[in-house]
């Protein structure tokens, strides 16, 4: 019986195991080599424990990096295929604003179902692949050596070891990317993505914990990179929340602006501020946003508009001051100093160049019987189920193709 080794028992690796077992009707021996004591650990943290496993709008526009490659994979494996796969392992879906979750809203339940479906595979846990040695002769076996001296021989290998994001949540430390680099594969620049932004000025430390609905826009050297509406969260170091995560799925930026009143144009906002002035005439500046904005955020807006003395009476706001306040509300500017690190990131931007693999099979163009799947490739998606979808799509494609190739070679 031929052996298929799957390095990494995360989302992509487990999906690859299920599809290989099914495609070969268990006539191929499938071995999952997983670094941690258990498979699928990161899945438990996904979607805040609910696992947003795909989206009703799977399209190339939601992917970054090698989007042409992504398009070729997802054109064959879209939402319908993902939903069908999960129903086939006993996980019906539930949809909320296009985001698809298991009906149980339980990531642990989805993992249990995947593990059950992959139970025909052998699992070697605490096996951190440290060397991947190609066959010495055509059709010979691959050798995989673990960090602590264990050895695995296989007729085909799927590398599904993930990227570098959230290593302590899921064991993905980028070691699989290094295994492929050592075999001569090109790797693009790796960057934490779907992560908080660090802000240099103004300091936001005093706003820690404040949440606001806003339109966040990111700029690089004055050029708009991306805009997104949603809830922005202030942290000790900077900005978080889904709009900020989405920004970090794109290129790097040096400035982020928040439109704190995205549903109203500046002219109408100015009328509104004049009304407020009349209502709050006898109050001090620090009460100016009562009922409109969280006080600490209101104070930041006032300072950005040049109102330094918060004990100043609202009656002293002239037309110029109101105009500056309206501008600050529509465009509160933050100088970005970087991104938070790998530990805080949900995914990896960049990775092993996907173009070195065949999108129809995920087989390497450089080494026959070597496949890659998941986040270790230079494709990543937006928030909203796109990254897990990528893991399923590439894992299932690779598992099926590898099992069929091994079966065919036995005939
Ligand atoms: C907090 C959090 C929430 C998220 N929520 C969502 C969500 O709701 N929806 C969504 O689409 N995406 C989400 N993501 C992203 C998504 O989880 C990942 O993109 C996805 O898990 C990648 O799958 P993968 O199989 O490629 O890698 P991983 O899931 O990271 O799995 C890789 C596996 O390989 C193992 N491994 C690593 N190196 C080796 C080695 N050398 N030898 C053997 N094994 C090794 C690891 O231990 C791990 O088990 C979230 C990520 C985080 C961190």
Burial of 289 from C-beta contacts in 10 A (0-12 / 13-18 / 19+): buried
For ligand 1, the distance from its centroid to the CA atom of residue 43, given in whole angstroms, is: 7
Query: Ligand 1: which of 42, 163, 392 to mutate, most ligand atoms within 8 Å of CB?
Result: 42
**Quick one: pLDDT at residue 26?**
81
Q: Is 243 in the pocket of ligand 1 (CB under 6 A)?
A: no
Alpha helices by DSSP H, listed for 41-106, are 67-74, 79-88
Strands laid side by side in the 129-133 sheet: 129-133, 142-146, 151-154
For ligand 1, the distance from its centroid to the CA atom of residue 192, given in whole angstroms, is: 13
d(CA 190, CA 173): 12
Contacts of 302 (CB under 8 A, 6+ apart): 285, 286, 288, 289, 310, 325, 328
Q: What is the DSSP string of 226-278?
A: EEEEEEEEE-SSEEESHHHHHHHHSS--SEEEEES-TTS-HHHHHHHHHHHHH
Query: Ligand 1: which of 18, 82, 106, 387 to mutate, most ligand atoms within 8 Å of CB?
Result: 387
Q: Which residue, among 388, 355, 394, has the nearest Cα to 68 in the 3D structure?
A: 355
Each residue's pLDDT expressed in tens, for the chain with a length of 411 residues: 999 999 999 999 999 999 999 999 889 999 999 999 999 999 999 999 999 999 999 999 999 999 999 999 999 999 999 999 999 999 999 999 999 999 999 999 999 999 999 999 999 999 999 999 999 998 899 999 999 999 999 999 999 999 999 999 988 999 999 999 999 999 999 999 999 999 988 789 899 999 999 999 999 999 999 999 999 999 999 999 999 999 999 989 999 999 999 999 999 999 999 999 999 999 999 999 999 999 999 999 999 999 989 999 999 999 999 999 999 999 999 999 999 999 999 999 999 999 999 999 999 999 999 999 999 999 999 999 999 999 999 999 999 999 999 999 877
The CA–CA distances, whole Å, from 63 to 58, 77, 290 equal 9, 14, 41
d(CA 390, CA 402): 18
For ligand 1, the distance from its centroid to the CA atom of residue 45, given in whole angstroms, is: 10
The CA–CA distances, whole Å, from 191 to 65, 163, 309, 338, 351 equal 11, 10, 41, 11, 9
Q: Is 171 in the pocket of ligand 1 (CB under 6 A)?
A: yes
d(CA 156, CA 25): 17
Nearest residue (CA) to ligand 1, atom 38: 161
pLDDT tens digit string along 168-224? Answer: 998 899 999 999 999 999 999 999 999 999 998 878 989 999 999 999 999 999 999
Nearest residue (CA) to ligand 1, atom 23: 11
Q: What is the dihedral of CA 61, 62, 68, 69, to 10 degrees?
A: -160
For ligand 1, the distance from its centroid to the CA atom of residue 320, given in whole angstroms, is: 52
Give the strand pairing for 142-146 and 151-154: antiparallel
Q: What is the CATH number of domain 3-191+348-410?
A: 3.50.50.60
**Atom of ligand 1 lying closest to residue 175 CA:** 41
Q: Is 33 in the pocket of ligand 1 (CB under 6 A)?
A: yes
CA 254 from centre of chain: 21
d(CA 67, CA 75): 12
Q: Is 391 in the pocket of ligand 1 (CB under 6 A)?
A: yes
**Quick one: pLDDT at residue 22?**
97
**Atom of ligand 1 lying closest to residue 348 CA:** 19
State the CB neighbour count (10 A cutoff) for residue 380.
Answer: 25
Domain ranges, ordered by start, for the chain: 3-191+348-410, 196-340
The CA–CA distances, whole Å, from 304 to 255, 283, 329, 389 equal 15, 20, 9, 42
Give the containing element (helix H, strand E) for 323: helix 319-330
For ligand 1, the distance from its centroid to the CA atom of residue 93, given in whole angstroms, is: 21
């Amino acid at each position: 019986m031929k052996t298929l080794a799957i390095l990494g028992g995360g989302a992509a690796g487990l999906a690859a195991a299920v599809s290989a077992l099914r495609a070969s009707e268990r006539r191929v021996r499938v071995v999952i080599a997983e670094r941690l004591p258990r498979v699928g650990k990161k899945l438990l943290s996904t979607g805040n424990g609910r696992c947003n496993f795909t989206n009703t709008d799977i399209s190339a526009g939601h992917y970054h990096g090698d989007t042409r490659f992504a398009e070729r994979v997802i054109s064959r494996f879209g939402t319908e295929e993902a939903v069908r796969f999960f129903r086939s392992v006993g996980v019906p879906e539930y949809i909320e604003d296009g985001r698809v979750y298991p009906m149980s809203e339980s990531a642990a339940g989805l993992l249990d179902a995947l593990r059950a479906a992959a139970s025909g595979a052998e699992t070697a846990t605490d096996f951190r692949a440290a060397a991947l040695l190609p066959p010495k002769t055509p059709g010979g076996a691959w050798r995989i050596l673990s960090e602590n001296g264990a050895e695995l021989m296989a007729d085909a290998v799927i590398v599904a070891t993930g990227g570098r994001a959230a290593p302590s949540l899921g064991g993905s430390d980028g070691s699989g990317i290094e295994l492929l680099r050592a075999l001569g594969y090109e790797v693009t620049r790796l960057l934490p993505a779907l992560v908080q932004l660090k802000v240099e000025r103004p300091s936001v430390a005093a706003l820690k914990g404040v949440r606001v609905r806003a339109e966040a826009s990111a700029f690089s050297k004055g050029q708009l990179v991306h805009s997104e509406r949603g809830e922005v969260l202030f942290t000790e170091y900077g900005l978080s929340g889904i709009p900020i995560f989405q920004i970090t799925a794109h290129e790097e930026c040096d400035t982020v602006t928040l439109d704190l009143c995205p549903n109203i144009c500046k002219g109408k906002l100015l009328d509104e501020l004049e009304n407020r002035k009349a209502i709050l005439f006898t109050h001090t500046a620090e009460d100016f946003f009562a009922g409109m904005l969280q006080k600490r955020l209101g104070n930041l807006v006032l300072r950005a508009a040049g109102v330094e003395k918060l004990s100043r009476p609202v009656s002293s706001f002239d037309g110029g001051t109101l105009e500056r306040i309206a501008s600050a509300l529509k465009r509160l500017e933050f100088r970005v100093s970087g991104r938070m690190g790998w530990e805080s990131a949900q995914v990896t931007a960049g990775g092993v160049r996907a173009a070195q693999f065949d999108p129809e099979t995920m087989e390497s163009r450089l080494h026959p019987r070597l496949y890659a799947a998941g986040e270790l490739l230079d494709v990543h998606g937006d928030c909203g189920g796109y990254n897990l979808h990528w893991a399923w799509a590439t894992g299932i494609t690779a598992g099926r193709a590898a099992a069929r190739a091994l079966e065919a070679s036995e005939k």
